[in-house]
Amino acid sequence: MTGFPACHLRDSADHSMPRSPIRRPAESLDLSYHLIDSEQLPETLNSQTLFGNDHPLEIEVGSGKGLFLTNEASRVPEHNFLGVEIIAKYAKHAAARLVKADSVRETGLRNARMVSGNAEPLFQQRIAPGSLAAVHVYFPDPWWKKRHRKRRVVNERSVLNFSRALQTGGRLHFWTDVLDYFESTVEMIAEIAPEFGVPIPEEEIESTHDLDFRTHFERRSRQNAIPVYRVRYEKRAVDEKTASV
């Protein structure tokens, strides 16, 4: 993976928008809880090692500026959320958003943290099978060129990793504005991970204010009238899977 995601390099007319610049968080902001360097991660990632409790754990792969993580951690305080973002400045920005989100206690949202690093080795090495309540992947970089497709974050390897990491009933959310990515992923999941069953469409929700979107990329697509493809899977037990074959 190069350090420069393909979403910066979109070459079709619809996807030529550059990613908006981000502001560096104020030096005075204490990110020590909310931003974890991948080298300081516990050996096994779970709610106990990351949050000191047993609440259900949800992971977002490629959090960007952290809008989803912040909104969802506020909306569902009884769950824990870990965001993984490979570009350090975005991980930092997302962590700052988590700190600033709780202006009442001024401790930041305690049920959400960011890791600056690559999600793939974390799923391969540090997440116990059946331990996650949900995996979220929103608007992953499309890697337009055919020869770059293997760099896509949602691929055969990652789908099997997500499936292994999810508990029965656990959810995989996948949203994109790239039709080809959407269709090929739905097809691939049906082929290699039948435990996910049929894809469940997720509805577009009317936004009530400027940041009332699932993510910044959803906001960007909708504001530019670009269609968004949204789907959720719910992992079934293995015997449910074989029962329906």
Ligand X SMILES: C[S@@+](CC[C@H](N)C(=O)[O-])C[C@H]1O[C@@H](n2cnc3c(N)ncnc32)[C@H](O)[C@@H]1O
Q: Pairing relation of β-strands 166-176 and 229-234?
A: antiparallel
Question: 212 or 240: whose CB is closer to ligand X?
Answer: 212
- Nearest distance, CB of residue 215 and ligand X, angstroms: 3
3-state SS, residue 22: coil
Q: Judged by CB under 6 A, does residue 61 bind ligand X?
A: yes
Q: Is 85 annotated as a binding residue?
A: yes
CA distance linking residue 196 with residue 32, whole number of Å = 37
With CB atoms as reference, the residue minimizing the distance to ligand X is 62
Binders in 133-152 for ligand X, by CB under 6 A: 138-141
When asked if residue 118 is in the footprint of ligand X (CB under 6 A), the reply is: yes
Binding mask 30-49 for ligand X (x = CB under 6 A): --------------------
E strand or H helix at 162: helix 156-165
Catalytic residue list contains 141: yes
Alpha carbon distance 109, 111 (integer Å): 6
Task: Decide: is 69 part of the binding site for ligand X (CB under 6 A).
Answer: no
Question: Does the annotation flag 146 for ligand binding?
Answer: no
> Residue-wise over 165-190: b if at least 16 C-beta within 10 A, else e?
bbbeebbbbbbbbbeebbeebbeebe
Q: Which of 30, 54, 141, 180 is catalytic?
A: 141
| Residue positions annotated with a catalytic role | 141
